[in-house]
Amino acid sequence: MNEAQLLNTVLERQAPAVARCLSPLGRRAAFPQGIPFQASQAQDTEINACIGQLTDGAGDPLPLPGLQQATEQLDPKMAFLYSPQDGHESLRRAWAARQRRLSGTSVVDTALPMVVHGLTHGCSILANLFADPNTDVVVATPMWGNYRLIFELFTGARIKSYPFFREGRFNVAGLSETLQSVAGKAVIIFNFPHNPTGYTPQQEEIEAIVDTVVGHHGPAIALIDDAYHGLIYEPNLMRRSLFWELAERADPDKLCPMRLDGVTKELVFFGGRVGFISHPLMGEVQAALHAKLKCIARGTTNVPAGPSQALVLKALELPDLEDQIEQRTAVLKERYQRLKSELADLRSSKVRAWPFNSGAFALLEVDAAINAEQLRQNLIVEHSVGTVRIDGINALRLAYCSVATAAIPPLIRAIGDAVETFC
């Protein structure tokens, strides 16, 4: 029995839903016992001739002086030498501790998160591991466009979608109806706060979502995309991740929640490309799944970047980190509130704002008589305003996260003026 078959046996015995959701690639995947594996076994040797990186012979890096000066506050080993395949353990532990603090009262154990090159890379790893042409990917529309690339284009999976809203609330009935149409395995995607609508379900909606997902016959992977986690501006919204709600109730025979989060929005580090994959599997089954995750990562982008990890660890060690995050969130909340106010005063029957209460976006549905793409082009040429047209619906997305509060009134006036030119 080869290494991959051994890992599959562990998963089949202890996490049946995960085992049954594996793609053909996922079943073949096993972290190779090549250079990284052998180097980890030799890490305590006095003379280590394993890794192809320049050191002083004692394990310390020999960076260019100019680069070292630019990063002099960072741990040089962490910044300049190869990272472990799953990321530096100190960072993984620090991120897990922050996740735990933000989880509220959850008593669910979770494995140390795995570091990836941002959430797109993490999503791609999970797609490769679990999705294939026999997989239904259940996701609300409109959706983040990368889901189609990652799942449809690269794995051949079938996307089964349902409208995000029903009567101004999250469409739990649509989720349930779509899950009932799934005959085999599924990947169920949730993204709250949502891109592109900027909506987070309220507590009773969350409870209905959890009831629906845990009641599904399985096998299924619930992929919780927490890219915008924490960007909450209303008091009646749940601040902790849906991941914890599902992990507390998931039957391992039918369902495994997998969480994607990272520093892009949570730590306002868009260029850092540091993300994390987390899950609630522990012990022997955790080791088996981790080996497969590392295998997929090694075969795509290899190890995560060291300098970004070092910077993130520095940030996580700041005693006032959460206060700093709150200050940035307050900036977004001010923009959100101003946009809400301006949209309420927009006197046009040709544009309608969809519900939004969190995150970074608002979605404006355009009257069917007006082509949203033509409106977008008009805004650029005639008003010097940039927006994004959303595929599949006649709507424009406003990323108010990138717009100063003072610029929001002229933004909305420009949209109103542009719409009038088409009437």
**Domains in the chain, ordered, with CATH?**
3-31+85-316 (3.40.640.10), 322-420 (3.90.1150.10)
The residues, any chain, with a CB within 8 Å of residue 383's CB and separated by 6 or more, are 414, 417, 418
The residues, any chain, with a CB within 8 Å of residue 310's CB and separated by 6 or more, are 71, 74, 75, 78, 79, 88
Q: Where are the beta strands (DSSP E) in 114-198?
A: 114-116, 135-141, 158-163, 165-166, 169-170, 185-190
Gap between the Cα atoms of 3 and 102, Å rounded: 37
pLDDT per residue as tens, the chain (423 positions): 799 999 999 999 999 999 999 999 999 999 988 777 888 888 887 778 778 887 888 888 988 898 889 889 999 999 999 999 999 999 999 999 999 999 987 889 999 999 999 999 999 999 999 999 999 999 999 999 999 999 999 999 999 999 999 999 999 999 999 999 999 999 999 999 999 999 999 999 999 999 999 999 999 999 999 999 999 999 989 899 999 999 999 999 999 999 999 999 999 999 999 999 999 999 999 999 999 999 999 999 999 999 999 999 999 999 999 999 999 999 999 999 999 999 998 877 899 999 999 999 999 999 999 999 999 999 999 999 999 999 889 999 999 999 999 999 999 999 999 999 887
Please tell me whether residue 221 adopts helix, strand or coil conformation.
strand
List the one residue out of 221, 349, 234 whose CA is nearest residue 292.
221
How many residues are listed for the chain in this entry?
423
Amino acid, res. 139: V
Calculated CA dihedral for residues 129, 135, 140, 144, nearest 10 degrees? 40
Q: At what angle do helices 203-214 and 242-249 cross, to 10 degrees?
A: 40
Task: Using the structure block, give the residue that is written with the tokens 């609330």.
Answer: 169
Report phi then psi at 194, rounded to 5: -90, 140
pTM of the complete model? 0.95
Sign of CA dihedral 266, 267, 272, 276: negative
